[in-house]
Amino acid sequence: MILALGGGGVRGFAHLGALRAIREAGLPIAGVAGSSAGAYAAANLAAELPLEVEPLMSHVIDRKLADLFMASGNRLLRMARMQSRLFKALRRTAIDDARRLREGLLELYGTARIEELAIPLAINAADLNTGEVIVLHEGPLVDAVMASSAIPGVFPPVAWGGRLLVDGDVAEKVPVTAARTLGPGPVVGVDVSNPFRRHRPANSFEVMLMASEASIQRLKRLALMRADYVLSLVPEHPVDTFDYSQASALYAFGYETTRSHLPQLEALLAPKRRGLFAWLQGVTGQRKKKGQHS
């Protein structure tokens, strides 16, 4: 089984719960692909790090940056901070320079390289100039994860092999393409999107947001159509991308939901297991025949 872990900001913590449930059930994972938030969970699995809310929470979450996008606190102060960041971003390529993120990832992954990890890993990113899906199979893990989660305008693009790479969700919301490069096994697409809600826009800003969301929804549908099984970890109610107060609840949701899908995941692997069993029977039978004739 090869897993394709999609993006979704804080909803990515549901991936960690799902991975824990799969590991506890003893289901074999032949490879894992990750995009955006899914890249963190995929990297933790491949690097054999704990599949818990920590250490990701303490290493990669920038509380000050998250507060900029949340509606809590003093609105005027929040708006002043946002305007200050946006004004500075006019002279740069992003609101945040990602320095805090890089430091945290270095503490977490060190100098690990993708091709050296215990489980085959593919990191999904997007070419900023062409919109192509770029699948990273080798290179520094820290740089790859940063590229895959470089939300346009929030974090700067990452230079890689003559390209400028940004958030993998720009090209493919759930990285089925990347997962298919890891081998012939069945691909499970894990979706941690927000629930889709139809509504009429109230202003021009909402129109722009809805147009962007419509594009993302289409990319997601196209990707999941090519998966062998879809594990939906879509929460009942929308969860803001930066609402890290929901991390533990999302982790538990991912764990329990995946446990309920274990029979289907086991059935997905059954043909492969039956094929291996038949092959072993055939080899054993041939040996017995040789023994009888000798």
> Is 206 a residue whose pLDDT tops 90?
no
Phi and psi torsions of 122, nearest 5°:
-130, 130
Is the pTM for the entire model greater than 0.75? yes
Question: Rounded distance, CA 125 to CA 133, Å?
Answer: 6
By CB atoms closer than 10 A (0-12, 13-18, 19+), residue 196 is: exposed
User: Could you report how far apart the first and last alpha carbons of the chain are, in Å?
Assistant: 41
Q: What is the pLDDT of residues 5-61, one digit of tens each?
A: 999 889 999 999 999 999 999 999 999 999 999 999 999 999 999 899 988 887 877
Q: What is the pLDDT of residues 238-288, one digit of tens each?
A: 888 888 889 999 999 999 999 999 999 999 988 655 444 444 454 444 444
SS3 120: coil
Q: What percent of the chain has pLDDT over 70?
A: 79
Phi and psi torsions of 205, nearest 5°:
-65, -40
Ramachandran sector of residue 162 (left: φ over 0; alpha: ψ -120 to 50; beta: rest)? left
Buried b (16+ CB within 10 A) or exposed e, 16-35: bbbbbbbeeeeeebbbbbbb
> Pick the residue with more confidence: 137 or 288?
137
Phi and psi torsions of 29, nearest 5°:
-110, 110
Question: Rounded distance, CA 73 to CA 70, Å?
Answer: 8
* Helix residue ranges per DSSP H, the chain: 13-24, 37-46, 53-60, 63-68, 75-89, 99-109, 141-148, 176-180, 204-224, 247-293
